[in-house]
Structure 1
Amino acid sequence: MERCSFALLAPLLIACAPVAFASSSTELSVTGLITPSACTPSLSGGGIVDHGKVSVKDLRPDQPTALENGTLYLQVNCGGATPFTLTTIDNRSGTSAFHPNSHGLGVINDDQKLGSVALRLFDTVADGVAVKTIVSLNDGATWRVSSYLGHAGRTAFAALNDLGTPIAIMDLSARLTAFTTIVRANDLTLTDEIPIDGHITVQLNY
């Protein structure tokens, strides 16, 4: 039976040989991303700006009160010279009582915004050389000198002789200053202790 089957099949295959077979295809892509040397950001003091206890009597009743500036030191260390930018994530998004480009301090009594904190970078040094902090508000299309660090733009660093071009950096150090402002006391219901509850993530992109 096996022989017969083979003998019967052979003429059929020969008869079909001149006929063209239909074909179809699909595509395969190989993707991935080769990244530059890894970079690690860090903040002094555990990343905490502690204003301590602020008495109600120290808050101005009819205008905002600026608290004492908080200072931390930011370091970024890369395995090799790497172009990178810094941004922030406001973990209290939507609670900034003043400019939306600042960061919020949370909400008290269900609907009262407590204040804002703005971050700035000063005394920036890259690989042992003083540099300028620059910011782009249009995803890197243009840059301008600014100490701003926040969620509204990308912060990078430039050589003093070319302020429009971000540079690749291996080791960066900078003084990070937090400017915290509380809304006027007349706008707050202050019956119990209220926590100053700002929380910000500094994000490095490369």
Structure 2
Amino acid sequence: MDKHTPAAFALLLAACAPAAFAASTTDLAVTGIITPSSCTPSLSDGGVVDHGKLSARDLDPVLPTRLQTGEMHLEVHCEGATLFTLTTVDNRAGTAAINPRSMHGLGMVNDDQKLGAVSFGVFEAVADNAPVQTIMSRDGGTTWGPSSYLGHAALTAFTTGGVPHTPMALQDLSARLRAFTVIAPAGDLSLLDELPIDGHATLQLKYW
């Protein structure tokens, strides 16, 4: 659209208005929404970390047991350079046995025992063919600092570095997403039947 059109239109209206007559007025509004370039996130292996079958004998009776770190490949592709953040929604909210403010739940055992928790981190991020630093904000984007954390307690973005840390617009992102799963002490769980590890989270991309 010609950026001079509104001014020319106003001048034309003024030129056509008879100076000798009083004028009644009414408001005219121009509305609409401009959307950013759309971005599509994707995860390898369908976004599933499968720990397979675990024996109850392998669980520590007193301390939490850390399982093998799961790893997926995270990609985000945008139509053009776009400023966005990543966060998650914990679809098992209220079931994290450890640090529920930052970690995600793994479901319940017998409706009253929390099975464990899982946290996520973003590592080795590359944006538009150049290494970038992962940064995090816990105050809604007011301040940022270096962190690999990805979760519901913060916003995650990327920067080329420097202080202060400022999120950058990018078009293509590639990174490793790791899942750190912890099972509650076996002494706190009823281990009479097979227990499914039932963690589930939604990765959200928010335009910034």
TM range (shorter): 0.7 to 0.9
Paired position in structure 2 for 1:122: 123
Change in Cα spacing, 1:205 to 1:186, as seen in structure 2 (3 Å) is: same
Q: Deviations over 1:64-104 (max 9, x none)?
A: 00000000010000000000000000000011111121000
Paired position in structure 2 for 1:205: 206
Aligned residues: 183
Distance 1:190 1:38 in 2: 46
1:2-13 correspondence to structure 2 within 5 Å? none
1:62 aligned partner, one-letter code: V
Distance 1:65 1:204 in 2: 31
For the aligned residue pairs, the C-alpha RMSD in angstroms reads 1.7
Q: Deviations over 1:125-164 (max 9, x none)?
A: 0000000100011111000000000001110001123561
Paired position in structure 2 for 1:96: 96
Q: State the 1:36 CA deviation.
A: 1.4
Matched, 1:78 2:96: no
Paired position in structure 2 for 1:44: 44
CA contact (8 A) 1:88 1:203 kept: yes
Partner SS state of residue 63, structure 1? coil
Change in Cα spacing, 1:182 to 1:28, as seen in structure 2 (3 Å) is: farther
Paired position in structure 2 for 1:158: 159
Q: State the 1:35 CA deviation.
A: 1.1
2:103 aligned partner, one-letter code: S
Change in Cα spacing, 1:110 to 1:80, as seen in structure 2 (3 Å) is: same
CA contact (8 A) 1:134 1:163 kept: no
Distance 2:46 2:82 in 1: 25
2:95 aligned partner, one-letter code: T
Distance 1:184 1:160 in 2: 40
Please identify the structure whose Cα radius of gyration is greater: 1
Q: TM-score, normalised by structure 1?
A: 0.85
Distance 1:121 1:163 in 2: 20
Larger displacement relative to structure 2 (154-163 or 65-74): 154-163
Distance 1:92 1:32 in 2: 37
1:162-177 correspondence to structure 2 within 5 Å? 162=163, 164-177=165-178
Q: TM-score, normalised by structure 2?
A: 0.84
% identical aligned pairs: 60
Larger displacement relative to structure 2 (63-72 or 31-40): 31-40
Q: State the 1:32 CA deviation.
A: 3.5
CA contact (8 A) 1:119 1:150 kept: yes
What residue ranges of structure 1 are gaps of 5+ in the alignment?
A: 1-22
CA contact (8 A) 1:145 1:163 kept: no
Partner SS state of residue 46, structure 2? helix
